[in-house]
Amino acid sequence: MKQVIYTAAHAVPASESIPLGGGAAIARRLTAEWTRTQPFPLEVLGPSILGNEAPSGRDIVTFSESAYARFCRAFEQATTEAILRHNPAGTIVLANDISEGPDFARLQRAGFRTAAIFHVDVVDYIASIYLRGWVRPETTVRWFARLRHLPMPQILKLIWQKQGDCVRYASHLIVPSAAMKATLERCYPEHAPGKVLVLPWGSEPSQTGTQSDIRGELNIPPGAKVLLTLSRISPEKGQHLLLQALLDWEHSSTPPQEPIHLVLCGEPAYMQGRKYAQKLHSLAARLRHIKVHFPGHVSGPRKAACFALADLYIFPSIHESYGLTLMEALSAGVPAICLPSHGASEVLRPECGAIVTPETLWPTIRDWLAGDNLRRNAAVSAAAYAASHTFANTAQQLARHIQ
């Protein structure tokens, strides 16, 4: 049986208490599941490999672009050197991250087989968020191929060159949605087809939480309707679209009459987080009837209590590869209203909620809050769907595939 070396730049202590994102959550869950089931000998290489230079999880989410690029290159070099000390005939490399991953070309030349998990297609992310969808991701790949020899910031090389090297030199590419697979195959038609495996992550068993605790903390009265959204605070998560939709509802000819509370969980993270958080607080302050709460990053029983409190889960992400919190909401029996994204299309079923445009977000929220039977039926369907799509089963499938 071959050993698996798992490189994970976000595998830091207590990662569940830090808004590191889905990559850290998957690293934590896969490590726990494979430690329990032991499908192969497993070695995890995290930031601690950098010794005294290792950043904490809090450091990572506050890095500037240049600091993050330096960390990625240092982690790449350290993990590559560590892997090269092993025998390629008895070793499989699994990269949890792409930008922060090992040197894929060097490992391939040394005879190692590498599988890479795409939590984010960073090229597609840049095209969607920074370029606002005006340029398709495959166009940016062609641009970089023509301009790659010109001087440019390290962060740009890290995005396009590293992702291109991963697709070219890795043996297998693991993605959580069919739409993500299609995008990679459009961007890299010479190398991606035949390599990409779609493995939706699925759900973990729901934790228990007492809604009365969070209800009392936030001073939400009994009988009030509760909307919940939960993610790090970052522009691609689209919380501003939700707040704007609620403002539009208040200014419509049918404004809300009953008490409604929005629990907007999360902390600012990564390059644009803090500035974006200021924008969200400004939008929330304009609401007069709907009360917005910012309880910060939640995890464990506190997160479970938020799900127990919610009447509807709102998933307003603009760019989402999968949507772990969406699956958590379904597992907790909370119907979901989503904006279009790869993750929403992969996860949500019509009987569990709805995928709508920003323009129809508030009317849909209004109708679902008014439809008690609609929500009850969707809650039953959501819990059943999540129970039939478990993370443990996905981890088992991935273990078989990489072996």
Q: What is the pLDDT of residues 293-310, one digit of tens each?
A: 999 999 988 999 999 999
Residue 205 has pLDDT above 90, yes or no: no
- In the chain, residues under CATH classification 3.40.50.2000 are 211-387
Confidence of residue 218 (pLDDT cuts 50, 70, 90): very high
pLDDT of residue 209: 67
Confidence of residue 64 (pLDDT cuts 50, 70, 90): confident
pLDDT of residue 14: 86
Q: 3.40.50.2000, 3.30.420.40, 3.30.43.10, 3.40.50.2300: which CATH number matches 211-387?
A: 3.40.50.2000
pLDDT of residue 390: 96
Q: Tell me the CATH number for domain 3-198.
A: 3.40.50
CA–CA separation, 111 vs 125, rounded Å? Answer: 31
Nearest 10 degrees: CA dihedral of 128, 132, 134, 136? -10
pLDDT of residue 379: 97
- To the nearest whole number, what is the mean pLDDT of the chain? 93
pLDDT of residue 249: 98
pLDDT digits (tens, 9 = 90+) for 220-236: 999 999 999 999 999 99
pLDDT of residue 270: 83
CA–CA separation, 180 vs 177, rounded Å? Answer: 5
Residue 153 has pLDDT above 90, yes or no: no
> Per-residue pLDDT averaged across 34-60, rounded?
95
The helix (H) or strand (E) run that includes residue 380 is: helix 372-387
Whether the CA torsion 125, 64, 14, 229 is positive or negative: it is negative
Residue 238 has pLDDT above 70, yes or no: yes
What DSSP letter does each residue of 16-67 carry, written as one string? GGS---HHHHHHHHHHHHHHHH-SS-EEEE-GGGGGGGPPPHHHHHH--HHH
65/168: higher pLDDT: 168
pLDDT of residue 195: 96
Phi-psi region of 287 (alpha: psi -120 to 50; beta: other; left: phi over 0): beta
pLDDT digits (tens, 9 = 90+) for 177-201: 999 999 999 999 999 999 999 999 9
pLDDT digits (tens, 9 = 90+) for 75-117: 999 999 999 999 999 999 999 989 899 999 999 999 999 999 9
Residue 5 has pLDDT above 90, yes or no: yes
CA–CA separation, 193 vs 139, rounded Å? Answer: 18
pLDDT of residue 346: 93
Confidence of residue 265 (pLDDT cuts 50, 70, 90): very high
The lowest-confidence range among 147-151, 281-285, 353-357 is 147-151
pLDDT digits (tens, 9 = 90+) for 120-132: 999 998 888 888 8
> Per-residue pLDDT averaged across 369-388, rounded?
96
Write out the two tokens for 221. Answer: 């009265």
The helix (H) or strand (E) run that includes residue 80 is: helix 65-84
State the pTM of this model: 0.93
